[in-house]
Chain A
Amino acid sequence: MDAVIQTDKLTKRYGGARGIDDVSLSVLRGEVFGFLGPNGAGKTTTIRTLLDLLHPTSGQARLFGLDSRRDSLAIRARLGNLPGEFAFEPRRTGREIVAFLAALRGLRSLGRTSELAERFSADLDRPVGHLSRGNRQKIGLIQALFHAPELLILDEPTGGLDPLMQEEFHKIVAEERERGVTVFLSSHDLDEVERLCDRVAIIRDGRLIAVEHVDDLTRRRYRHVTVEFADAVDVSELRGLPGVRDLQVDGRRARFGVAAGALDAVIKALARHEIVDLELAHPSLEEIFMTYYAREEHHA
């Protein structure tokens, strides 16, 4: 499967200040790729560099196999983008904005605009300056999608949308994936990323710290174990087991996390006791995300 987005040691610095450092990743055709990180981590800088709004200090990015700087126009003809803060002249209506952007793209019609407006319950005929943030975001999504691009780059796409519209957006992303569109989205909403994305990249302080399949990330890292013994158990025995962490004991019930690779040894050790109840749970993406950050913090 070919890469639609490929970055190689992509670096952007603002004078002496950090933007992003040596970001290397690839996004495959037809996948939904999540880009996670807190404010200021470098998500928007990465996206703006891909879009040629910012010029890289070093390294390079290729989209559709084309150079992000030299072939920027050909690349932009094939993508749709929602910026982090969608803004347009407040006097313009959504319909006028889409018509203007269609003209800039050399399109004779507004494409899927009406259908999308219906699905998002968007008002295309009010000036965007009179719309709430959520309704403005709907116009932003429509202008990103109306021309059926091959690649969608969306920066915080559901910001300001109510839950119903978030749901509609999730359905649209699933449909876009069905028809082979590649989606690169940055988000704070880890549930959303977990639900929508095939793979996820985590960025911190401008550096990529992980790129993983969402399933692998949630399955492979560790498990939450809750075990209830028939009799009291020596806590030190549990604490001494390999891969066990965050142990909490409440009477005959113990809760702890265990590294996926150490699960076999832990289960065998537990089996030496009479067990009343046992629960193994995958951590949420949010927990994994926080674990990554805590670990990086520790290394820093």
Chain B
Amino acid sequence: MSVAPAASTQAPAVAPPARAALRALVRRGLLDNRRAPLVWGGPLGAMSAFVVALYPSISDSLSQAVKGYPAGLKDAFGITDLGTVEAYLNAEMFSLFLPLAVAYFAIRCVAASIAGAEEHGYLDTVLVTPVARRTLVAGVFATTAIAVAAVLVVAGLLTAAGAALTGQALAFGRLVAALAGVWGLALFFAGCATLAAGVLHRAAPVLGAGAGLLGGMYLLDVVGKLADPVQELRWLSAFRYYGTPLTAGLDGAGFAALVLAGALLAAAGAALYERRDITG
């Protein structure tokens, strides 16, 4: 038996449109991350739901305790007032744990899909198809944005369910604003990771650089709130633009700045990625 060339399937003489390749890359990326909403969003949502459910039983004692906290400490951790379930949820989840975890997830997505795939030799097969490297990077960034949104939707739904089951009047609009704020923050760090992957060939250094930046910016923001000399440097931290959307509402300009900066960093990463070798 011989293998006859099929005219309809023969490799076309020109590269197909980037849009088709982008769709294929995003579809593949989402399939690879299909468990992420449950694996990441599930526990985060369950923790948030638990925090919300716990609130009625501790709200009185919390208010008393918070009165005794130093003002700077309360500012630093966004616990100026724990008199509402939103304020308590913000202090427990949305001021530290949830944004750090989701931003780390975004960094991890990018590191695994670009530098990790290169490290394992997977891109040797993908990048010999007529797909531009910038399309690959755009696909990874878009996949990460969607996967992060899916994680946040699951976390948000579980949180809302926790509030509904325990009869808490959690403001749904504020919850959506907070989730959107975390999404913008995660996208910024996804952009940072993409920039790192534009230069680095292995997943661990990209993950390390992204996670280091994430931790560093968080500390800068917290210390900036506590210490006046560092206050002026807070503009360098993405957390400054994230703010406290669950209690103060979404800072539209800050949100736009984070998303735009994330996209620009990813574009810069794609440009660097086009120029470097794929080592395999």
Contacts and interface: CB of A to CB of B under 8 A. Distances in A.
A112 interface: yes
B256 interface: no
A275 interface: no
A105 B127 CA distance: 11
A97 B17 CA distance: 20
Interface string A81-100: 10101111100000001001
B197 to A, nearest CB: 16
B24 A115 contact: no
A291 interface: no
The bracket for how many chain B residues form the interface is 35 or more
Interface in A97-156: 97, 100-101, 103-112, 115-116, 118-119, 140, 143, 145-150
A79 B11 CA distance: 8
A74 B131 CA distance: 10
Contact of A76 (B23, B121, B129, B276): B129
Given A119-B1, A172-B3, A148 B9 contact: yes
Contacts of A118: 1
Interface stretch (A22-30, A49-57, A202-210): A49-57
A148 B1 CA distance: 16
B193 interface: no
Contacts of A147: 9-11
B67 interface: no
Interface string A13-49: 0000000000000000000000000000000000010
A80 interface: yes
A148 B10 contact: yes
Interface in B7-25: 8-17, 20-21, 23-25
A225 B123 CA distance: 51
A150 B11 contact: yes
Interface residues of A, number: 47
B131 A104 contact: yes
B280 A77 contact: no
A115 B1 contact: yes
A108 B25 CA distance: 15
Contacts of B27: 103
B32 A73 contact: no
B11 A80 contact: yes
B11 A148 contact: yes
B19 to A, nearest CB: 10
B16 A148 contact: no
Given A104-B25, A115-B1, A73 B10 contact: no
B277 interface: yes
B21 A83 contact: no
Interface string B150-165: 0000000000000000
Given A106-B20, A111-B9, A115-B3, A83 B278 contact: no
B2 interface: yes
A287 interface: no
Given A119-B1, A179-B5, A53 B277 contact: yes
B2 A53 contact: no
Residue from B3, B17, B21, B278 whose CB has the most chain A CB atoms within 10 Å: B3
B128 A81 contact: yes
Contacts of A145: 3
A9 interface: no
A212 interface: no
22 contacts: A51-B128, A54-B278, A73-B15, A74-B130, A77-B11, A77-B12, A78-B11, A78-B13, A85-B124, A86-B125, A87-B125, A97-B125, A101-B125, A105-B129, A106-B16, A106-B21, A108-B8, A112-B6, A115-B1, A119-B1, A140-B125, A175-B2
List 3 tightest A-B contacts by C-beta distance, closest first: A106-B16, A111-B9, A103-B24
